[in-house]
Amino acid sequence: MARTPERMAVSASLNAFSKATDLRQRILFTLGALIIYRLGTYIPVPGINPDILSDIFSRHAGGVLGMFDMFSGGSLGRMTIFALTIMPYITASIIMQLMTSIVPSFEALKKEGEAGRKIINQYTRYLTVFLAAVQGYGIAVGLEQAQGVVFEPGMFFRITTVVTLVGGTLFLMWLGEQITERGVGNGISLIIFAGIVANLPSALAGTFELGRTGALSSFLILFFLAMAIGVIAFIVFVERAQRRILVQYPKRQMGNKMFGGESSHLPLKVNVPGVIPPIFASSLLLMPVSILSLTNSADGGAGWLVALNALLGRGQPLYLGIYVALIVFFAFFYTAIVFNPAETAENLRRYGGVVPGMRPGKPTADYLDYVLTRLTVLGAAYLSAVCLLPEILISRYSVPFYFGGTSLLIVVTVTQDTVSQVQSHLMAHQYESLIRKSNLRGARR
């Protein structure tokens, strides 16, 4: 059988992977860490009645409480040690990034390099502890107000719950950092990814069960499956889309030889921040609303709590409006952090690169900012559409959240990022192998 270029490429990749010991260790470490995380999602918080808690979550499965349970990998519904998941750490990171853009002292720390980043990371950890403690206490109070959920309500239960949930969040924060450093991919994103993927089979089974009992028509189930496939294809297309800006380098003479005179491209992604805006928006929106839903589960809840819970329900205009506003804000905010047009223009000027029709320096920076702003508008619109349109349909027909745009966006984006890192490790290994072979040949000569 003839060997096609595709088969040769796959064979070369598999051969490189078999020899890349470091990559295998990284992948095994990542898998082991995610298995530990999944085991922790089944260790319950002490003093909880699981039957009554399960009944409350079944009644709120179609609301925001169910969506947060999806992000926690089912931990919130079982009220385990990882019920807060990694969300307090994400919220603390958002606040610290805002502080580095607003407060001069934090901005100065950011410019100090590695030492400044370590200090900022330490502040982020302290803030994570505080936020997790506040959210854990809110959950403990909400559980106490729900009739029969807590065996022995009181201060001891609240302290135990806060300590347990804070400890679980800190462990996940540490585990995510270890995955990023010693594994493959972004640890925080992979933890959220693992929670979503782990419950996909049960979500599919639940959807088919709805079809079997007649709660959903077969046509609607096929429509949602086709919509999910279409959303995945659209996400892959947009995440790979780039706006390439032509950059030309002038010719330079060094001795008797001419160098330069080449042209290259500065690639700008349509969606620069990736999956960060939906995760940040969900982190800021879901936890307060989830605590509100737990509190509202108590018999005879306050009227304003009932009204606010209804307004912030799944698919409600207020919830959707806040969600879109947060996605758009974080799309622009994170893009401004990741890409600095003035710094990029200065680097181009330093190396002699020129954007055709633009003078070096500030005009080039203004042009890059002009292009990036319009790309970010498209990216924010894309993120809002992907996250909201399926959610509206899901809230109407009670299909599991795992087929929603936010979950699909996280799964596809994290998968692409992890695969890219694996490919980078393989290419680095192949490059090192070529250098070693070259050095051996030179030594023999």
**Average model confidence (pLDDT) across the chain:** 79
- State the Cα torsion 135-119-187-164 to the nearest 10°: -30
Torsion 421-93-285-79 (CA) sign = positive
CA distance readout (Å), 378 to 30, 231, 331, 384? 34, 16, 10, 10
User: Exposure of 249 by Cβ count < 10 A (0-12 exposed, 13-18 middle, 19+ buried)?
Assistant: middle
Q: How confident is the model at residue 262 (pLDDT cuts 50, 70, 90)?
A: confident
Q: Residue 226: what residue type?
A: A
- At 79 the pLDDT is 87
Q: In this predicted model, what pLDDT tens digit does every residue of 266-319 receive, in sequence order?
A: 888 888 888 888 888 877 776 666 666 555 554 445 566 566 666 666 667 777
Segment 149-162 shows an average pLDDT of: 89
Angle at the Cα of 343 (from 339 to 347), degrees rounded to 5? 120
What is the token pair recorded at 308? 């606010």
Quick check: 88 pLDDT over 60? yes
Q: For residues 243 and 293, is the Cβ–Cβ distance under 8 A? A: no
Q: Strand (E) positions, 270-313? A: none
Cβ atoms within 10 Å of 431's Cβ, excluding its own: 10
Q: In this predicted model, what pLDDT tens digit does every residue of 196-231 receive, in sequence order?
A: 888 777 777 777 777 788 777 788 778 878 888 888
Which domains are delineated in the chain? 20-426 (1.10.3370.10)
- The rounded distance, in Å, linking the Cα atoms of 274 and 383 is 9
Q: In this predicted model, what pLDDT tens digit does every residue of 39-59 receive, in sequence order?
A: 999 998 988 888 888 777 776
Q: For residues 182 and 31, is the Cβ–Cβ distance under 8 A? A: no
Q: How confident is the model at residue 4 (pLDDT cuts 50, 70, 90)?
A: low
Find all residues with CB under 8 Å of 369, minimum gap 6, and list them: 341
Q: Residue 378: what residue type?
A: L
Helix (H, G, I), strand (E, B) or coil at 86: coil
Find all residues with CB under 8 Å of 241, minimum gap 6, and list them: 269, 270, 271
- The rounded distance, in Å, linking the Cα atoms of 327 and 228 is 21
- At 320 the pLDDT is 82
The secondary structure of the chain in percent helix, strand, coil, rounded to multiples of 5, reads 75, 5, 20
- At 13 the pLDDT is 52
Find all residues with CB under 8 Å of 245, minimum gap 6, and list them: 265, 266, 267, 268, 355, 368, 371
3-state secondary structure 315-379: CCHHHHHHHHHHHHHHHHHHHHHHCCHHHHHHHHHHCCCECCCCCCCHHHHHHHHHHHHHHHHHH
* DSSP tag of 252: E
More confident residue, 445 or 194: 194
- The rounded distance, in Å, linking the Cα atoms of 401 and 204 is 11
Quick check: 81 pLDDT over 80? yes
- At 1 the pLDDT is 46
Torsion 71-74-75-77 (CA) sign = positive
pTM of the model: 0.77
Torsion 131-134-137-139 (CA) sign = negative
CA distance readout (Å), 224 to 77, 229, 342, 437? 25, 9, 45, 53
- The rounded distance, in Å, linking the Cα atoms of 275 and 23 is 25
* DSSP tag of 243: E
Q: For residues 408 and 228, is the Cβ–Cβ distance under 8 A? A: yes
